């Protein structure tokens, strides 16, 4: 396998995982949560809706937005009703939404870590620097453990399965 072929496969898996969009949406959501205004609250609700359904377009009218958000559950549904009607959310509501989004993000990050680790290992076996495929290189990662059974990507530790 070539670095180009593995990089393309890695990108396609990453894209199918909606990871790149999710990272961007989560970063925006965290910023929106720190803007305690009705507009910031609406952006926060739209952000979490986009995290749950990244391929949707969140342009529908207010009634459709409330209906969609309400189906996501009590915390988000109630917050969506408040935000769309122009009422500010409480800080607890904002914190709950960020917590839900963070759990969702962490799950997606764990899935992406597995994808990165898999393609990094394929690159190693083919004699290719993993950085050329995944953007992460075991050889330049200061947290990499020498036993080759695990390594860190950012704050996440990845276990190599044999």
7: left (phi over 0), alpha (psi -120 to 50) or beta: alpha
Task: Give, rounded to a whole angstrom, the gap between the first and last alpha carbons of the chain.
Answer: 20
Reported confidence tier of residue 1, pLDDT bands at 50, 70, 90: confident
**How many Å apart are CA 80 and CA 146, to the nearest integer?**
49
Question: What does residue 60 show for φ and ψ, rounded to 5 degrees?
Answer: -65, 165
Q: For 127-155, what is each residue's pLDDT tens digit? A: 999 989 998 654 433 333 333 444 444 44
Rg, Å, the chain Cα set: 19
Most confident of 35-44, 112-121, 152-161: 112-121
- The position carrying tokens 């020498």 is 146
Q: For 40-92, what is each residue's pLDDT tens digit? A: 888 888 888 888 877 766 554 433 454 455 445 555 666 666 665 566 788 88
- CB 144, CB 152: distance < 8 Å: yes
Q: Name the 3-class secondary structure at 154.
A: coil
């Amino acid at each position: 396998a070539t670095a180009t072929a593995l990089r393309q496969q890695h990108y396609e898996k990453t894209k199918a995982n909606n990871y790149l969009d999710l990272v961007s949406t989560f970063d925006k959501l965290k910023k929106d949560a720190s803007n305690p205004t009705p507009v910031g609250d609406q952006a926060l609700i739209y952000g979490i809706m986009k995290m749950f359904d990244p391929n949707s377009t969140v342009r529908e009218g207010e009634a459709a937005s409330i209906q969609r958000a309400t189906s996501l559950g009590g915390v988000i549904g109630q917050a969506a009703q408040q935000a769309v009607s122009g009422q500010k959310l409480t800080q607890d509501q904002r914190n709950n939404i960020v917590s839900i989004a963070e759990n969702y993000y962490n799950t997606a990050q764990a899935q992406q870590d597995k994808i990165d680790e898999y393609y990094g290992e394929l690159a190693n076996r083919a004699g290719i620097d993993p950085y050329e495929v995944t953007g992460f290189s075991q050889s330049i990662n200061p947290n990499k453990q020498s036993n080759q059974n695990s390594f860190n990507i950012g704050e996440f530790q990845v276990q190599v399965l044999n």
